[in-house]
Amino acid sequence: MIIRIARKELTDQLRDGRFRASALMVGALLLVSLGAGWTQVSSARAQLEAAEATARNHWESQGDKNPHSAAHYGVYAFKPRLPLSFVDQGVDPWTGTSVWLEAHRQNDFLMRPAQDASAAQRFGTLTAAGVLQQLVPLLIILLGFGALAGERERGTLRQVLASGVSRRDLMAGKAAGVAGALALLVVPAALLGSAALVLGSTATGSLLARAVVLAVVYLTYFGAFIGLALAISAWVPSSRTALVTLLSLWVVNGLVAPRAAVDLSGWLHPSPTAFEFSRQIEEGMANGVEGIRPPDRQAITNRLLQEYGVDSVEDLPVNLSGITLQASEEFGNAVYDHNYTELWDTFERQSRVHESLAVVAPLLAVRALSMGLAGTDIEQHRHFATAAETYRRDMMAAMNGDLAQNSRTGETYLAGDELWVSVPPLDYEAPTLAWVLGNRTVSMLMLGLWLLGALSAAVAGARRAEVGP
């Protein structure tokens, strides 16, 4: 009986010109966004590989020079784009994808596409995630708002129930029919996305696992909206009221809640402006932080003289400049750690506010999970930034260490290509799926509660639905 009802519901939907037109529009947008995302990510990957090779060649072929001069010469580090980022760009357009690693400074990330985009472009960026999160729920509403309310208005609901069809089977059949119609749109897009994923990258176990979980997340989201549409259709007296109610929920979910989440998180956990943050760094460099004071060159000199048992700097078996430069580097690291840790923690507290507000809007939970699985959320940006900074510090320590150990105070010392080659390139490994999901337990819980609540409301609505106007 459920299959027969689902087949009848699907047939009605396919005969409805409104469904065909809306499905064609949403499907076209989804396919275009997938294609555009895949093209953009493929181009970005090729540019990344070329830029990495160029930056590495510049570092290795810089010629003979003082190691500390080489530290200031620096090198660029580029954040890799995970294959699934073609579905969801996340925060990458705002955070940037490359950073210059040099002595004494922890620089901000560069290459932020949002800086070059107009206000209209930033608002209207077409991505597959945007279509799946915003437009597919709207299509579900158009499919389901009249599922039971329409039957009641036409007087057929009484006849169907009088023929012996149980309310539970009727609701299950309606849900299956809506899901079947939606599958005609989503399945081809999913197959296209899978093909792009396989052709555009090496299909590793971690990547496939991320893709499967991402698919489950969106299916759960769609299931919650199907449940909501059927529940409202069962509870309200008319299909017009059902449509208005569902559209109101869609507006709150997709337009009001995300903006409110940004404002509320910024109010609860304000972050400093770029100017304020730079001033905090400057104050820390001048005055120290958390009891750590700027290094005293004379104190370092006295310690080395006592340690090596000599009377003058010229008699030291190490270069005092290399030692003091590394001490200055470590002091700067402490200042940057103090300020950046607080900044990153503020961003993550804001992210937690967004996730918590998913209790009133499932889109917030889906968005957090989607960005996390695509590797474009703030936590994974921080993960790469930390790895790049660790690499920078190791490089600076190697440069200052070579200067200290292979030269003496006051003499001219030039290192060669063998030193530059001895510094390995940055080998970044993305976090595991377990790490990503561990940061998104609140979002998974909220999304699961939305699905459970929507289906429960649909079942309760079917049991209590009036059979006639």
The domain segmentation of the chain, as residue ranges, is: 2-464
**Terminal Cα distance for the chain, rounded:** 25
Per-residue pLDDT tens for 451-460? 999 999 988 8
pLDDT of residue 120: 47
Q: What confidence tens digit (pLDDT) does each residue in 260-291 have? A: 999 999 999 999 988 899 999 999 998 888 88
Total Cβ atoms within 10 A of residue 299: 10
Q: Which of 9-23, 73-87, 138-152, 186-200 has the highest mean pLDDT?
A: 73-87
Residue 343, token pair as written in the block: 């900044």
Summary mean pLDDT of the chain = 87
% residues pLDDT > 90 (the chain): 51
Band the pLDDT of 469: cuts 50, 70, 90.
low
Q: Are 392 and 101 in contact (CB under 8 A)?
A: yes
Contact 331, 294 (CB under 8 A): yes
List, in order, residues 6 or more apart from 221 with CB less than 8 Å away: 132, 133, 137, 362, 363, 366, 447, 450
The neighbouring-strand residues paired with 75 are 101
Task: Please report which confidence band the pLDDT of residue 112 belongs to, taking 50, 70 and 90 as the band edges.
Answer: low
CA 31, 3, 162, 11 torsion: positive or negative?
A: positive
Instruction: Provide mean pLDDT across the span 354-374.
Output: 94
Residue-wise pLDDT tens digits, 88-100:
988 888 888 889 9
Mean pLDDT in residue range 67-94: 89
pLDDT of residue 16: 76
Q: Say yes or no to pLDDT of 406 above 80.
A: yes
Q: How confident is the model at residue 5 (pLDDT cuts 50, 70, 90)?
A: confident
- Starting at the earlier edge strand, list the strands of the sheet with 98-102: 75-78, 98-102, 105-106
Are 419 and 67 spatial neighbours (Cβ–Cβ below 8 Å)? yes
Task: Quote the CA–CA distance of 255 and 10 in Å, as a whole number.
Answer: 30
CA within 13 Å, CB half, 368: 29
Q: What is the model's pLDDT at position 155?
A: 75
d(CA 407, CA 319): 6
Q: What is the pLDDT of residue 58?
A: 92
Percent of the chain having pLDDT more than 70?
A: 94
Structural element, H or E, at residue 447: helix 441-464
Average pLDDT over residues 116-144: 77
**169-195 pLDDT per residue, tens:** 888 888 888 888 888 888 888 887 777
* CA 462 vs CA 3, 55, 152, 172, 467: distances in Å: 18, 64, 12, 10, 10
User: Is the predicted pLDDT of residue 387 greater than 50, yes or no?
Assistant: yes
pLDDT surpassing 80 at residue 118: no
Q: In this structure, are residues 186 and 245 in contact, taking their beta carbons and an 8 Å threshold?
A: no
Cα 297–chain centre separation: 44
Q: What is the DSSP letter of 98?
A: E
Q: How far apart are CA 79 and CA 91, in angstroms?
A: 13
Q: Calculate the CA 202 to chain-centre distance.
A: 21
Looking up tokens 């790469």, which residue turns up?
384
| Res 467: pLDDT | 65
Q: Is the pLDDT of residue 145 over 80?
A: yes
- Which tokens in the block code for residue 345? 């923690």
pLDDT at 377: 92
pLDDT (0 to 100) of residue 95: 85
* 114 pLDDT more than 80: no
The answer to whether 416 and 81 are in contact (CB under 8 A) is: no
Given a cut of 60, whether residue 122 has pLDDT beyond it is no
Q: In this predicted structure, what is the pLDDT of residue 468?
A: 61
Which pLDDT band, with edges at 50, 70 and 90, does 115 fall under? low
In tens, the pLDDT along 12-40 reads 777 777 778 888 888 888 888 888 888 88
Instruction: Provide the greatest CA pair distance for the chain.
Output: 107
pLDDT band at 10 (very low <50, low <70, confident <90, very high): confident
Which residues 6+ apart lie within 8 Å of 287 measured at CB?
Answer: none
Task: Tell whether the model's pLDDT for residue 253 goes beyond 80.
Answer: yes
pLDDT at 326 over 60: yes
> With 50 as the cut, is the pLDDT of residue 370 above it?
yes
